[in-house]
Structure 1
Amino acid sequence: MLFEQIQTACLNDADLPWVPFTPYSERVLIKYFKLDPIRGETIALLKAPAKGQMPRHRHTGTVIVYTVQGRWKYREHEWIAEQGSIVYETAGSSHTPEALPGEQDNQDIITLNIIQGELLFVNDGGQVLAAEDWRSGWERYAAFCRAQGIEAKDLTAFG
């Protein structure tokens, strides 16, 4: 049967580098696990300082965020995401992420993000300033690997 021939893959955290989320921030790091050109999906860890705010953004697809470490929220909502929580974002939602101090004030925030479609950075009027997707993730990852002399893994492949 065809489904029995589908290959699976395992990517180990230690085999992949933390990449600065440039040009937006040198302090925010991203670790890409999958950059899917077919589904337009990105699976990555995001590491941000325990203090600060990311730019306001909007999503064209759904996003699932699992908090591995730290505390954070969206300025537009009352809830607080802590270790072990899952945030589900619907397509078209806009928000401004903020880091929150926790029991360990200097503890970075680390989240696992499953992003479908584009991440659009917007100004207060909703005008798009920049766009991120699987392709820009691949370009950032490949450029970082070249600059560091690291052999890039094909994160777009299946199997």
Structure 2
Amino acid sequence: MNFENIDTGCIDLESLPWIPFTPYNPEVMLKYVKFNPITGEMIVFLKAPGDMEMPRHHHSGTVIAYTLTGKWKYKEHDWTAGPNTVVYETASSEHTPVALNQGEVIVFNVIVGDLVYLDDNNNVIAIENWKTGMQRYLKFCEDNGIEPQDLTAFNG
């Protein structure tokens, strides 16, 4: 069986580039770790300056966000996430992320499904998911002479 050939992988984060999260905010950087086209899961680090605000967005699936540095929140909630906190977002949640000027924010995210970015009138302005992340990663590698890794591989 093919599943018996799937092995545990260890990913060298230093070998993966930080990529600007354009067109949303070029100061926000992403480090894509893994894309799963079967489940729609994306594993990605987000690094942002302490004063950033991202557009409001809706999640079609769940998100787990572990904060390594800095502090951030959603405008729509009372809590603040800081180092060593985990935020669990249910499918269909909607919010606006804001950093709280407490230094650089770095968050490890496990995202399932689409992130649907919305304007003030609830119009869809963009949809992000594993496929758009893969396209951004491959384009960045091509533009910067980097040999891309297969981030969809189960054993890499």
**TM-score band, normalised by shorter chain:** over 0.9
Matched letter for residue 13 of structure 2: D
Summarize the alignment of residues 7-86 of structure 1 with structure 2, pairs less than 5 Å apart: 7-86=7-86
Hey, what does 2:147 align to over in structure 1? 151
CA distance in 2, matches of 1:145, 1:133: 18
CA distance in 2, matches of 1:84, 1:7: 29
CA distance in 2, matches of 1:6, 1:37: 16
- Residue by residue over 1:102-143, the C-alpha shift from the partner in whole angstroms, topping out at 9 and shown as x without a partner, is 2xxxx2100001000000001223221100000000000000
Structure 2: which 5+ residue stretches go unaligned?
none
CA distance in 1, matches of 2:111, 2:63: 5
The alignment partner of 1:14 has SS state of helix
Q: Percent identity?
A: 52
- Residue by residue over 1:39-80, the C-alpha shift from the partner in whole angstroms, topping out at 9 and shown as x without a partner, is 101000000110121100000000000001000000000000
CA distance in 2, matches of 1:158, 1:3: 10
Summarize the alignment of residues 103-114 of structure 1 with structure 2, pairs less than 5 Å apart: 107-114=103-110
1:120 aligns with 2:113: no
Hey, what does 1:96 align to over in structure 2? 96
CA distance in 1, matches of 2:2, 2:146: 35
Hey, what does 2:131 align to over in structure 1? 135
Q: CA RMSD in A?
A: 1.4
CA distance in 2, matches of 1:45, 1:128: 24
Matched letter for residue 93 of structure 2: S
